[in-house]
């Protein structure tokens, strides 16, 4: 087993829609609708598997046909789903509607089945998670569960901010995180700072070793200690979350492979670009390896 990584995150169905003309609230809108498996937990675990790591996905599936297909898709991608359980409700669902120009009109996220995971769910899984090289979890979990995990896990912890409202659940445990992946809006909410540099400085000062900030059309900023590396990148409309999750997976991959900071930055930017493509392909170590890096 190469670098086992525990991923605690949502896995569900993604519904995407793009209208052919200006969105109307008074009549049916002609357009294109797509269905796919997704959720940050699913995407990051799948990407880690394609990068040659050994991810396990701690999540909650339903008992419906969609959940069965979702579980099978994760396992077929090389993700260990033995830590997952089944609930009575349907799996999480994510709805996103784009305008004819590609701008996001609105989105709806229902992660209640995952967010309902409590301390009792993780109590029996802690020994297995503590065997991993690292653990990533999302702020979709309630604050007390995030604190519980930070108190009891003994492996390097990485966290996803998820949203400006939910990222504040990480405030009590920032000093216990090894890495974090946030949008600039989430970083501002957590730190009270405005500029990306000031946000990164505050997060690094809290004790976090790897800080990945998504800056939208300006790309990413990777920070560690006093080091800052800007990564220009413009995400494809409607693929912003996929790009951010791919960059987070690359951050974990770089950590597991003990890559230098500049190589991790290159990997994150490349992963985001691949995931943002019109027809994204699975991530591979070859695609994310910095050709300018020198072996020590």
Q: Domains of the chain: which residue ranges? A: 4-17+33-288
pLDDT per position as a tens digit, 30-68: 999 999 999 999 999 999 999 999 999 999 999 899 999
State the average pLDDT over residues 141-160.
98
From the CA atom positions of the chain, what is the Rg in Å? 18
CA 21 to the chain's CA centroid:
31
Of 149, 89, 154, 150, the closest CA to residue 122 belongs to: 149
- Pairing outcome for strands 210-214 and 179-183: parallel
Q: How confident is the model at residue 296 (pLDDT cuts 50, 70, 90)?
A: very low
Is 230 in a helix, a strand, or coil? strand
Residue 1 banded pLDDT, cuts 50, 70, 90: low
Please give the CATH superfamily to which domain 4-17+33-288 belongs.
Ribokinase (3.40.1190.20)
pLDDT in tens, 110-128: 999 999 999 999 999 999 9
Instruction: Report long-range pairs for 151-160 (Cβ below 8 Å, ≥24 apart).
Output: 152/122, 152/126, 153/126, 153/129, 154/130, 155/6, 155/129, 155/130, 156/255, 158/134, 158/210, 158/248, 158/251, 158/252, 158/255, 160/9, 160/40, 160/136, 160/248
User: What does the pLDDT look like over 255-284, one tens digit per residue?
Assistant: 999 999 999 999 999 999 999 988 899 999
């Amino acid at each position: 087993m190469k670098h086992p990584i525990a991923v605690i995150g949502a896995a569900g169905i993604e519904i995407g829609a793009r209208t052919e003309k200006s969105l109307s609230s008074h009549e049916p809108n002609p357009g294109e609708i797509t269905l796919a498996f997704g959720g940050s937990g699913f995407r990051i675990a799948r990407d880690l598997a394609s990068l040659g790591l050994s991810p396990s996905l701690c999540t909650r599936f339903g008992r419906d046909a969609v959940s069965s297909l979702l579980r099978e898709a994760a396992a077929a991608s090389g993700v260990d789903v033995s830590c997952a359980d089944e609930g009575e409700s349907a799996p999480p669902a994510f709805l996103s509607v784009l305008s004819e120009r590609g701008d996001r009109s609105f989105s709806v996220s229902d992660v209640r089945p995952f967010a309902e995971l409590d301390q009792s769910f993780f109590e029996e899984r802690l020994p297995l998670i503590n065997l991993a090289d690292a653990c990533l979890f999302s702020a979709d979990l309630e604050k007390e569960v995030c604190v519980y995990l930070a108190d009891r896990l003994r492996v390097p912890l990485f966290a996803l901010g998820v949203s400006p409202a939910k990222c504040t659940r990480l405030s009590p445990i920032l000093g216990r995180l090894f890495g974090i992946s946030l949008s600039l809006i989430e970083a501002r909410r957590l730190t009270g700072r405005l500029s990306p540099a000031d946000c990164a400085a505050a997060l690094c000062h809290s004790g976090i070793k790897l800080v990945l900030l998504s800056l939208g059309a300006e790309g990413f900023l990777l920070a560690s200690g006093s080091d800052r590396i800007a990564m220009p990148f413009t995400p494809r409309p409607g693929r912003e979350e996929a790009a951010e999750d791919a960059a987070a997976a690359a951050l974990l991959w770089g950590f597991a492979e003990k890559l230098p900071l500049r190589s991790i930055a290159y990997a994150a930017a490349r992963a985001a670009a691949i995931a943002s493509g019109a027809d994204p392909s699975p991530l591979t170590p070859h695609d994310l390896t910095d050709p300018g890096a020198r072996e020590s």
